[in-house]
Structure 1
Amino acid sequence: MEFNVSVAQFGAIFRGIAILLMSFFAMSIAVGAYAEQIWMQQDSGTSHELRSVSFASDGQHGFAVGFGGTILATSNGGETWVAQDSGTFSELNSVSISRDGRQGWAVGFGGAILTTSNGGTTWVQQESGTPYELRSVSVASDGQHGWAVGFGGTILATTNGGLAWEPQASGTMNELRSVTFTADGRTGWAVGFNGTILSTVDGGETWIRQDSGTSNELYSISITSDGRHGWVVGFGGTILTTSDSGGVWKMQSSGTQHELHSVSVVPDGGSGWAVGFNGIILATSNGGQAWTVQSSGTSNELRSVHVTADGRTGWAVGFAGTILAFRPD
């Protein structure tokens, strides 16, 4: 048998092999980096369950909220957390912080909405106009436009920093567990029970139901800065992803049946983390094509995860005042 291979063909074959080897090497580096990533316990100073964590763009200023009206604040990336006076004993489920770390909003039981404009030195109650429990809040980069979602399909919106919150028509009575918007405050999603995924492209004036392909409870959503790529997590280890703004949602393999309560993906969509029941932490470095279990060092349920835009620093919070963090060496 004869093999006649020209110089050009040989060069093409060699380049193909080189590309494959470089891809394999890059993947090996990425997997190695994740394997070495270590989550460390931070001292929260509380035993209350923490439901949500959010950080400013500097990765230094952040808030965590939870049971008993708990609000914790840090100005040094979580090396120290300080309890703040929330003025309520209501369960707080979600917190959203502005990029500069000065403004923040927290929502919770009984329609509670709290806000700060001075980095948490003082928190002021705002009138939500609803008795329904609010489960999630998202505020746009301008600090004026924001949304809160919760029981009974509730969606509230503000255009003036929370001086007034107005209801928006969600078209569902399913509990909504998470809401997120792009920086301009025009494009957003809300997810919840019975596989509910809602989307808007006009700041919430109209919400349209998208086909999630599942009836599982959905707990959290994270989207890329362009608003095209997104990830949703939920009951039974559910992970869904879209690359066309939710036109189509596809199931990804999480490798677990544990409930996943929260997901945080970097703006370009390459790297992401999900946390949930029994202290599980999953990570991806390839847009969710593969999710890898990371060691959390705890069996406490984790309720929220937040990662900085560069993906180099992150925090997770949960039961018994648990706060975990990873950061560059």
Structure 2
Amino acid sequence: MKERVITQPRRFAWPLAAVAVLALGMWADSAQAAAADEYSTESAKASQSLLIDATHAGKRLVVVGDRGHILFSDDQGITWTQARVPTRQLLTAVFFLDDKRGWAVGHDAQILASTDGGATWIKQFEDLSREAPLLDIAFLDAQHGFAVGAYGALLETTDGGQHWQDVAERLDNPDQLHLNGIAVVKDAGLFIVGEQGNMFRSGDNGTRWNKVESPYEGSLFGVIGTAQPHTLLAYGLRGNLFRSTDFGDNWQPIELKAARGDLEFGLASATLLDDGSLVLVGNGGSVLRSQDDGQTFSVYNRADRIALAGVSGLANGGLLLVGQGGVHLANAEGADQVAGEVRP
């Protein structure tokens, strides 16, 4: 049965399940374009504000979120430094190719870039006429990258972001359904997921895209390639999680059991750890871990039930969780480490 989850006009439908309630209110607040010379406001509490995504820039941790906040940590999340960022818009995703070169995307179809590990950023692209955010970004190499977003947005660069081209016409997406996630799949190519279960894949670095028959008609919020060739996971509403070992030709639903029954919270983000483990997070404080390439998952529900929107690994085997309330340092299961260990 097809799920209907949009309860407001479609313009305001927010595709990130983990922070849907919070972000819906902020969409209107942040819709006004920031002036070209506006930078994110410095705040001692930035690490406790709403954060949407987290990643590594080498050994450095980088997080992004509300009001243009980008923070980085060189001591595994104990202390955080706020970066200089030329926007006050909500940022939705961050991607680093290595320890220096990274990109972030967000509202007003903004694309920001850093060449110093996330300490400073420049604005590479902005399109106020879209009145909608970009939601994810991925690079194949230092020159070639793609960004996806609301209303079927698909942008491509072949020069490291100096120029971005709208290539949405390459997709069979006549209704301009939201594109929520993009990932590189090992030895296979690029994969996109989005609204109403839409899936697209490219085996030629994004020149041609084929629509994939989806195992699910509800919204998919993200996709991640695993450590194995041709293998990926797609995840979304109400704990729906699917695994493919053949680049999307066939899908296996992954059953998720929480302590109190089936997992019903939306899944918002995923990461592949250095040891090959997969971790997913979502609404209601759900933290899922797989040590068999995504075939099975253990499920941990945090006692605080906070909405989680992003996750990255820590050097000590723990997890960096971000979302409602900002940064949370957790053990491998997802429970908080020593109280008070994270300081702004």
**Which structure's CA Rg is the greater one?**
1
Q: What SS is found at the alignment partner of 2:95?
A: strand
Q: What whole-Å deviation, never above 9, does each CA across 1:135-166 have from its counterpart, x for those lacking one?
A: 001123x3221111001111111111100111
Equivalent residue, structure 1, for 2:208? 206
Give the Cα–Cα distance (whole angstroms) in 2 for the partners of residues 233 and 220 of structure 1.
6
Equivalent residue, structure 2, for 1:54? 55
Give the Cα–Cα distance (whole angstroms) in 2 for the partners of residues 293 and 44 of structure 1.
30
Q: For the structure 1 residues 134 and 271, does the alpha-carbon distance in structure 2 shift closer, same or farther, using more than 3 Å as the test?
A: same
Give the Cα–Cα distance (whole angstroms) in 2 for the partners of residues 65 and 223 of structure 1.
22
Residue 200 of structure 1, CA deviation: 0.5
Q: For the structure 1 residues 144 and 75, does the alpha-carbon distance in structure 2 shift closer, same or farther, using more than 3 Å as the test?
A: farther
- Superposition TM-score, scaled by structure 2 size: 0.75
Q: For the structure 1 residues 53 and 44, does the alpha-carbon distance in structure 2 shift closer, same or farther, using more than 3 Å as the test?
A: farther
Identity %: 27
Q: Does 1:116 align with 2:114?
A: yes
Q: Is the 8 A contact 1:224 1:267 kept in 2?
A: no
Q: Is the 8 A contact 1:232 1:263 kept in 2?
A: no
Q: Does 1:240 align with 2:246?
A: no
Q: For the structure 1 residues 193 and 50, does the alpha-carbon distance in structure 2 shift closer, same or farther, using more than 3 Å as the test?
A: same
- Which consecutive unaligned segments of at least 5 residues does structure 1 have? 1-42
Give the Cα–Cα distance (whole angstroms) in 1 for the partners of residues 74 and 97 of structure 2.
14
Q: For the structure 1 residues 231 and 266, does the alpha-carbon distance in structure 2 shift closer, same or farther, using more than 3 Å as the test?
A: farther
Give the Cα–Cα distance (whole angstroms) in 1 for the partners of residues 280 and 125 of structure 2.
32
Alignment of 1:153-164 (within 5 A): 153-164=152-163
Q: For the structure 1 residues 113 and 183, does the alpha-carbon distance in structure 2 shift closer, same or farther, using more than 3 Å as the test?
A: farther
Q: For the structure 1 residues 226 and 287, does the alpha-carbon distance in structure 2 shift closer, same or farther, using more than 3 Å as the test?
A: closer
Equivalent residue, structure 2, for 1:136? 136
Instruction: Return the letter of the residue paired with 1:303.
Output: A
Residue 258 of structure 1, CA deviation: 0.7
Q: Is the 8 A contact 1:177 1:191 kept in 2?
A: yes
Give the Cα–Cα distance (whole angstroms) in 2 for the partners of residues 234 and 317 of structure 1.
18
Q: Is the 8 A contact 1:92 1:106 kept in 2?
A: yes
**Pick aligned residue for 1:323 from 324, 328, 335:** 328
Equivalent residue, structure 1, for 2:37? none
Q: Is the 8 A contact 1:223 1:267 kept in 2?
A: no
Residue 247 of structure 1, CA deviation: 0.9
Residue 220 of structure 1, CA deviation: 1.2
Q: For the structure 1 residues 225 and 128, does the alpha-carbon distance in structure 2 shift closer, same or farther, using more than 3 Å as the test?
A: farther
Give the Cα–Cα distance (whole angstroms) in 1 for the partners of residues 126 and 203 of structure 2.
23
Q: What whole-Å deviation, never above 9, does each CA across 1:199-246 have from its counterpart, x for those lacking one?
A: 111111111111121111111111035541111110010000001111
- Superposition TM-score, scaled by structure 1 size: 0.78
Equivalent residue, structure 2, for 1:179? 182
Q: Is the 8 A contact 1:69 1:89 kept in 2?
A: yes
- Give me the CA root mean square deviation: 2.6
Alignment of 1:82-93 (within 5 A): 82-93=81-92
Q: For the structure 1 residues 267 and 190, does the alpha-carbon distance in structure 2 shift closer, same or farther, using more than 3 Å as the test?
A: farther
Equivalent residue, structure 1, for 2:101? 103
Q: Is the 8 A contact 1:231 1:263 kept in 2?
A: no
Q: What SS is found at the alignment partner of 1:322?
A: strand
Instruction: Return the letter of the residue paired with 1:284.
Output: S
Equivalent residue, structure 2, for 1:265? 272
Q: Is the 8 A contact 1:273 1:305 kept in 2?
A: yes
Q: For the structure 1 residues 64 and 135, does the alpha-carbon distance in structure 2 shift closer, same or farther, using more than 3 Å as the test?
A: same
Equivalent residue, structure 1, for 2:287? 281
Residue 296 of structure 1, CA deviation: 3.7
Q: What SS is found at the alignment partner of 1:248?
A: coil
Instruction: Return the letter of the residue paired with 1:258.
Output: F
Q: Is the 8 A contact 1:44 1:322 kept in 2?
A: no
Equivalent residue, structure 2, for 1:6? none
- Which consecutive unaligned segments of at least 5 residues does structure 2 have? 1-43, 258-262, 338-344
Q: What SS is found at the alignment partner of 1:287?
A: coil
Q: What SS is found at the alignment partner of 2:206?
A: coil
Residue 80 of structure 1, CA deviation: 1.5
Q: Is the 8 A contact 1:219 1:234 kept in 2?
A: yes
Q: What SS is found at the alignment partner of 2:67?
A: helix
Instruction: Return the letter of the residue paired with 1:52.
Output: D
Q: What whole-Å deviation, never above 9, does each CA across 1:275-299 have from its counterpart, x for those lacking one?
A: 1011111112223333212254532
Equivalent residue, structure 1, for 2:230? 228
Comparing 317-326 and 148-157, the one that deviates more: 317-326
